Every structure is written in structure tokens, then in C-alpha cells.
Amino acid sequence: MNLKRVVVTGLGALTPIGNTPGEFWKGLANGVSGAAPITRFDASLFKTQFACEVKNLDLDQFMDRKEARKMDAFTQYAMITADQAIVDSGLDLESIDLSRAGVIWGSGIGGLRTFQEEVTDFARGDGTPRFNPFFIPKMIADISAGFISIKYGFRGPNFVTVSACASATNALIDAFNYIRLGKADLFLSGGSEAAVSEAGIGGFNAMKALSQRNDSPTTASRPFDKDRDGFVLGEGAGALILEELEHAKARGAKIYAELVGGGMTADAYHITAPHPEGLGASSVMKIALEDAGLNPEDIDYINVHGTSTPLGDVGETKAIQKVFGEHAYKLNISSTKSMTGHLLGAAGAIEAIASIFAINHSLVPPTINHFTDDEAFDPRLNLTFNKAQAREINYALSNTFGFGGHNCSVIFKKYNRSE
């Protein structure tokens, strides 16, 4: 079958280290940490008292207050980045076929803050059932895609993928497949999450998943370091306009990169722990390479899942060595979660954007906060510790893995206008 080619023509980012794509990349390139004491609530009684929050966000600049009250923060974040991506893409919505434009979004949890607030208010009351009429639509994960489609009139496929921390990458792959099969011309795709709340921090603390380095939040997310003690919870959103190549060229769009392959697998092993040998991780990268028609030697950079957990980091590097063999030692590998924290269902979106910027700027963002080598990792691997490294990048692969054993990989290619 003659598959269509898919390119990225617009970007939006709202992250703990920058509220626009440009600010986000500047933070990554300079190794900035987004971690700080929590401001959303009093976290003094929690085991973890810090997170990577979105900062200096004035919602009034982006939406009417009445509209904002109908949305949980995860949808507000989605709307902000969607608008950034639409503007960045230069799309003229009156000149495209809106029935062939869709929204596939990702969120691992959805409206957690809303759910917590509504249930807490009810529990503190006299038992009379008083709930906000927007409780359910604010909470459900699919509402983000619904709001986006309503605003822009996109009448094509519209849904939200929920695969824990793989959600946004899952969404990108689904959008990629619809376009290359000829079922749509473009998608606004990505993911958002807003889980920095009592329920979010408390729940992950109960799982012993979060770092508890309260005395030094900025150094708490330390993937591949011997003293890593869990991930740092983040929040935000990332949006990408994925477009069929000829459709993009016909309107003179700027093209950031080409999306050339994707893979999805399951560990089928444990609800939260990764497979110890990285079985699902290795197979998903192999599938992505096969889908793109590439050899392992073609990849220059891997933006790893790299959450800073004791088990996850080891399993992923084992998987990379299994798939890439000797070429694993010629790759650049880095975890941008060392700077942004873990955005859960939105992680794949901002990490895709990081990979695209790495290609465009010929610069590998660093894995910051490396202090002590861990003998569990092969010292021949270039994990891009502490400082960005200049490198020509033709192909970048981005991994995201989620609770439940969900694995997703996508591969971006430097766009060559002569092809």
C-alpha cells in the first residue's frame, strides 16, 4: 500500500521550564530544572513536598474566565497549547476541509483536581448531594479533544487515548496512522496533564514512586544516577500539528520534521514495574524501526523515558543495548525528565517536541543532575550527562512507557525539501 507521508507543521508547549515552545527549548538546552516546592496546596505533611509545576501562567491572557471555569486545568493546558500550535502552523481554517481535520489527544488521568475537589466538598458537607453541573465534563479525559474540536471546527476523528504515561505518544501514533492511510489531512495531536494535587502527590507517594529529596528539589530528578530515588511529578501540555506532506506543501507550510515510524507494545508483566530485561521496550523500538524502514544504525539520538526510578532506567538501557548492539555506544541518549519532571500522559508530547528541536538545532539536550555513576549502566553509553552536546541529528527516537505495561516509540526525521 502506498502510504502518505506525515510531517509536523506546528508546535505548542506549556511546561515547567517554559510556557511556549521557544522557552521550553531554551530551558532544555541550558539544563534548567523545573522542580520547586509545591505552590498548589500545603504539602508540608506529604512525604514529597515539591513538583515541576507550570509557572507564571495568567489564564486571562488565553481564555475567558467563564469558559475557564468549565474546564479542569488539564483541559485549560490543552487549549493553550492547541492555540499555540494552530497559530504556529499558519493554518487558514477557512481554506481547509474541516471534515478531514481531527483531534487525537492524550491524557493518562484527566480531571484529577476536579474529581478531588468535588468529592472533598461533598464529604465535608451535610450529605446533601450538591455537585457542580460541570463536574463530569470537567473530569472526563476525552473532553480536551472535544473542546479543541469545538473551538476550531475540526470534524474529523476525535478522541483521547488513555495509556498512562504513554498516552500522548499513543495519540501521535494514532494520528500518524490515520493520515498516512489517507483517512484525514491533518490532526492536532499531543497530550496534557494536571495531576499536581493532594490526590496526585499522595497517591504516587503511597506507591513509593516519587523522589523525596525535599532538601534539594532541583536535583531530585536524576535519571541513571546511583542515588536516584523516584520521579518528580510534572504538569503541562504539548501540541503538534501533524499534516499530510502534500497538503502541507500545497499551503506553503513550514515543516519542522517528518514523522516516519511508530510502535506500540505491552510488557504483559506487571501493573507498575517494567519488565526487568526491558522486553516490551526492546520490541517497541524494533517495531518503530521496522515501521520507518530504518536500521538501528540510522538513529542518532534517543529521548528516553528515563523517569529516575531504580528499575525503569535500568530496563530501558538494557533494551537499547539489545536493539542497537554496538551502535548503542555511538548514540546520544538523554532524559529530558531530569529537567521537566514526569508529565505523565503529556510526557510523550513534550518529549516529541524536544526531539524535533534537537533535530532542528543539531543539539542533544542533557540529562542533568548526574553526580554518581551507577555500575548498573554500561559506561560506554553516552547518556549526555549534565551538558547539552552538539551533534548532527537526522533521526531521533522518543520512548514513553506507562503503568500497565504500555510502551510507545516514535521516530522523527530531519525534513529534506528535495525528497
Task: Spell out the alpha helix ranges (H) of 153-266.
Answer: 167-180, 198-206, 245-250
Residue where the block lists cell 489527544: 105
The tally of CA atoms less than 13 A away on the side-chain side of residue 205 is 19
Which among 81, 117, 272, 89 is positioned nearest to 192, based on CA atoms? 81
pLDDT of res. 1: 75
Residue 50 has phi, psi (to 5 degrees) of -140, 165
Domain 265-413 coded CATH 3.40.47.10? yes
pLDDT of res. 419: 73
Q: How far is CA 329 from CA 74, 317, 364, in A?
A: 38, 11, 15
Of 6, 145, 165, 397, catalytic: 165
pLDDT of res. 342: 98
Tens-digit pLDDT profile for residues 173-193? 999 999 999 999 999 999 999
pLDDT of res. 227: 98
pLDDT of res. 115: 97
- Measured CA to CA, the distance from residue 414 to residue 294 in angstroms comes to 14
Strands (E), 15-64: 36-37, 50-51
pLDDT of res. 277: 83
DSSP 236-289: EEEEEEEEEHHHHHHTT----EEEEEEEEEE--S-SSSPPTT-HHHHHHHHHHH
How many Å separate Cα 37 from the centre of its chain?
A: 22
pLDDT of res. 99: 98
Q: 6-250 and 265-413: same fold?
A: yes
Yes or no: say if 351 and 401 are a contact pair by the CB < 8 Å rule. Answer: no
3-state SS class at 142: coil
How large is the greatest C-alpha to C-alpha distance in the chain, in angstroms?
69
Tens-digit pLDDT string for the chain (419 aa): 799 999 999 999 999 999 999 999 999 999 999 999 999 999 999 999 999 999 999 999 999 999 999 999 999 999 999 999 999 999 999 999 999 999 999 999 999 999 999 999 999 999 999 999 999 999 999 999 999 999 999 999 999 999 999 999 999 999 999 999 999 999 999 999 999 999 999 999 999 999 999 999 999 999 999 999 999 999 999 999 999 999 999 999 999 999 999 999 999 999 999 888 889 999 999 999 999 999 999 999 999 999 999 999 999 999 999 999 999 999 999 999 999 999 999 999 999 999 999 999 999 999 999 999 999 999 999 999 999 999 999 999 999 999 999 999 999 999 988 77
Q: Looking at domain 6-250, which of 1.10.10.10, 3.30.70.1150, 3.40.50.300, 3.40.47.10 is its CATH number?
A: 3.40.47.10
CA dihedral 324, 329, 331, 333 (to 10 degrees): 100
Active-site residue flag, 165: yes
Domain ranges of the chain: 6-250, 265-413
Q: Which three cell numbers stand for residue 242?
A: 501533524
At 320, which helix (H) or strand (E)? helix 310-324
